[in-house]
């Protein structure tokens, strides 16, 4: 939403017979001006959006159609604004702004909504720079939940971007600005849009090519593109290349080329969702979020380091190096992946993935390979040969002779009679 102009109503102007009093203008978009206001009956601050298409003028408090726009075309657009407000009023979702009432006045229409305190996602990124992956994806999950509810009512938002996402002081992430919302054909899941002179294309960098086409077929995949472009901005600090520039040949920079800390799975999911051809994208928000979950096992690569206890840690360096300089932090529980590994040594070089279609995010571990068996070696040969068994006679020296005679004497005492008894039978053995 851009800076308000002199087209805004003056502060203090009242609407609905004094039921609402306008304060300062908060901003102006393609189809209206938003003010902070006061609900006189309930004594609460509210946000009030006035139907005021680009090019419109004022005659006092009344709004006049832009030059070249007929009153009938203006009334038709105003009726769409009223219908969209009534549709949003049916939502009771924490990630969608509440609409309290809508009414017509001053040849215009006014939507009264909850007043949110906080700052836009764009302001948050401008102050802090690129967000951590787990923080960015957590924010996108809440925006995705809002889009799922919108799509469930047969609507398209068509203007998802950091400027239209509010980070509230109460911790909620709220999707804003439904000025480009369109109804979908329930049977086909898409709608053919015929653009006219006063039709906006969405926001450059976040709007896919079909929103620029004279007869573009938009669908839930259109909001998927914008959601992925918003996540791209959160992770890199800049929006992706505009769809029209990409159609003319400009390359889309990979997320990891701008922020190497982003996991390869999350980067690939974003690239898929930013495909120029709608059929090549995830077709629904749950499909895109599922790819983010399956493609990114955690907010950062899970590593263990020598001297650190086994667990789930990530290096918070600013130098993109895996050094043990005391800045390791435990990964949040929801992003942990439990893996049981043997004791291994850190790898000196990257390894090729053993699974086709997969890739390693970096050389995390190197499992020592088992050396081939050595050829057979005779233990009695070689430089470390064993001593062969040897038979040695106890026949050296006088004592050896005496001992030999003693042993021979006793053997003859016991064996001699047996041999003499066997002598008569010897002839029978030689017959």
Q: Which helix (H) or strand (E) holds 219?
A: strand 215-219
Give the span between the Cα atoms of 153 and 333, in whole angstroms: 34
Region class of 335: left (phi > 0), else alpha (psi between -120 and 50), else beta: alpha
Q: Where are the domains of the chain?
A: 14-114, 118-295, 301-343
Are the CB atoms for 20 and 14 separated by under 8 Å?
yes
pLDDT at 87: 79
Burial track 314-343 (b if 16+ CB lie within 10 A, e otherwise): bbeeeeeeeeeeeebeebeeebeeeeeeee
CA 124 to chain CA centroid, Å, is 19
Chosen CATH of 118-295 out of 1.10.510.10, 3.10.180.10, 3.10.520.10, 3.40.710.10: 1.10.510.10
Give the span between the Cα atoms of 306 and 426, in whole angstroms: 83
Q: Is 147 exposed, middle or buried (0-12, 13-18, 19+ CB in 10 A)?
A: buried
Q: Which helix (H) or strand (E) holds 79?
A: helix 71-89
Paired sense of beta strands 190-194 and 20-28, if any: unpaired
Give the span between the Cα atoms of 95 and 61, in whole angstroms: 33
Q: What does DSSP assign to residue 2?
A: B
Give the span between the Cα atoms of 98 and 103, in whole angstroms: 16
Angstrom CA distances, 338 to 251, 298, 335, stand at 37, 11, 10
Q: Give backbone dihedrals phi and psi of 48, rounded to 5 degrees, phi first.
A: -125, 125
Chosen CATH of 14-114 out of 1.25.40.10, 3.30.200.20, 3.40.50.300, 1.10.1060.10: 3.30.200.20
Q: Give backbone dihedrals phi and psi of 87, rounded to 5 degrees, phi first.
A: -65, -45
Q: Which helix (H) or strand (E) holds 195?
A: none
Give the span between the Cα atoms of 27 and 34, in whole angstroms: 6
Q: Report the DSSP beta bridge partners of residue 366.
A: 345
Q: In sequence order, what are the residues at sequence separation of 6 or more whose Cβ sits closer than 8 angstroms to the Cβ of residue 260?
A: 320
Rounded to 10 degrees, the C-alpha dihedral 41/43/47/52 comes to: 40
pLDDT at 198: 37
Q: What does DSSP assign to residue 161?
A: S
Q: Report the DSSP beta bridge partners of residue 57.
A: 64
pLDDT at 44: 95
pTM of the entire structure? 0.62
Give the span between the Cα atoms of 297 and 360, in whole angstroms: 12
pLDDT at 359: 44
Angstrom CA distances, 212 to 201, 225, 233, 263, stand at 6, 14, 21, 32
What is the mean pLDDT of each successive set of 10 residues along the chain, which is 431 residues long? 72 95 89 93 95 92 92 91 85 92 95 93 94 94 96 91 94 88 66 43 89 84 97 96 94 96 95 96 96 62 31 40 42 38 43 44 44 55 50 58 80 77 70 59
pLDDT at 344: 40
pLDDT at 327: 42
């Amino acid at each position: 939403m851009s800076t308000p102009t002199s087209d805004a109503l003056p502060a203090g102007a009242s609407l609905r017979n004094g039921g609402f009093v306008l304060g300062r203008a908060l901003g102006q978009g393609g189809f209206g001006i938003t003010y902070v206001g006061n609900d006189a009956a309930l004594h609460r601050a509210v946000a009030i959006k006035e139907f005021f298409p680009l090019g419109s003028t004022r005659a006092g408090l009344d709004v006049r159609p832009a030059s070249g726009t007929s009153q009938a075309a203006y009334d038709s657009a105003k009726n769409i604004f009223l219908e969209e407000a009534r549709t949003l009023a049916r939502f009771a979702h924490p990630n969608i702004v509440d609409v309290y009432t809508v009414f017509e006045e001053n040849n215009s229409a006014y939507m009264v909504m909850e007043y949110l305190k906080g700052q836009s996602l764009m302001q948050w990124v401008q102050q802090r720079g690129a967000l951590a992956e787990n923080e960015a994806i957590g924010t996108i999950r809440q925006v995705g939940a809002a889009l799922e509810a919108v799509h469930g009512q047969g609507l398209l938002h068509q203007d998802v971007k950091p400027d239209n996402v509010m980070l509230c002081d109460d911790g909620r992430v709220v999707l804003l600005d439904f000025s480009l919302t369109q109804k979908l054909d329930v049977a086909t899941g898409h709608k053919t849009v015929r653009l006219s002179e006063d039709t906006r294309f969405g926001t450059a960098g976040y709007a896919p090519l079909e929103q620029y086409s004279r007869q573009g077929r938009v669908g839930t995949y259109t909001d998927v593109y914008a959601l992925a472009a918003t996540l791209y901005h959160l992770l890199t600090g800049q929006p992706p290349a505009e769809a029209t520039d990409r159609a003319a040949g400009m390359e889309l920079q990979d997320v990891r080329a701008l922020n190497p800390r982003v996991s390869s799975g999350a980067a690939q999911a974003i690239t898929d969702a930013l495909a120029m051809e709608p059929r090549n994208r995830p077709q629904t928000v749950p499909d895109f979020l599922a790819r983010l979950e399956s493609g990114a096992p955690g907010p950062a690569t899970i590593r263990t380091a020598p001297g650190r206890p086994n667990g789930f840690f990530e290096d918070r360096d600013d130098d993109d190096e895996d050094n043990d300089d005391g800045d390791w932090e435990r990964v949040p529980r929801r992003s942990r992946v439990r893996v049981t590994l043997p004791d291994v040594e850190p790898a000196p070089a990257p390894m090729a993935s053993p699974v086709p279609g997969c890739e390693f995010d970096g050389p995390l571990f190197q499992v020592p390979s088992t050396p081939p068996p050595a050829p057979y070696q005779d233990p009695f040969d070689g430089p470390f040969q064993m001593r062969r068994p040897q038979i040695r006679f106890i026949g050296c020296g006088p004592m050896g002779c005496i001992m030999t005679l003693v042993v021979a004497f006793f053997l003859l005492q016991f064996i001699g009679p047996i041999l003499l008894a066997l002598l008569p039978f010897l002839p029978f053995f030689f017959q």
